[in-house]
Amino acid sequence: MYFISIKRHFDAAHRLLNYPGKCANLHGHRWEVEVIVKGNGLNQLGMVTDFGSIKSTLDRYLESLDHSLLLSNRETEKFKDTSHIMFDPNPTAEVLSKEIYKFLKKEYIPVYEVRVFESPDCWAGYRE
């Protein structure tokens, strides 16, 4: 089994509804996203897949999040401006990792796992 990984980042703000701590307040992160792709074998070029295709596909999704306000979909009445990105139930690293995973799968990237870092030493991941 082969694995390859790429890392990208974006900047965005969020807050967590019903959270009993500081993260209930609006704050920002420089989010780092790591995508791990797996393959049983290598293609004719000796690669699992092209790093460039993973980067460009991921970048399309992350561009929609960059410099945005990530909100819970429970806040839609408060924020009717559609430029906000909504997540259910809250825009946590866990939820972001699953949403990014689903997007990459839909784009035919053979993703194994997605990790989303809120800070250099805290991450959440998703894999099926």
CATH number at residue 55: 3.30.479.10
Q: Is the peptide bond before 89 cis (omega within 30 degrees of 0)?
A: yes
Q: What is the Cα–Cα distance from 40 to 76, expressed in whole angstroms? A: 43
Domain count, the chain: 1
Q: What is the Cα–Cα distance from 86 to 80, expressed in whole angstroms? A: 11
36, two tokens:
């791990």
Instruction: Report the amino acid identity of residue 44.
Output: Q
Residue 16: domain span: 2-126
pLDDT digits (tens, 9 = 90+) for 59-117: 999 999 999 989 887 665 555 555 556 788 899 999 999 999 999 999 999 999 999 99
pTM of the model: 0.90
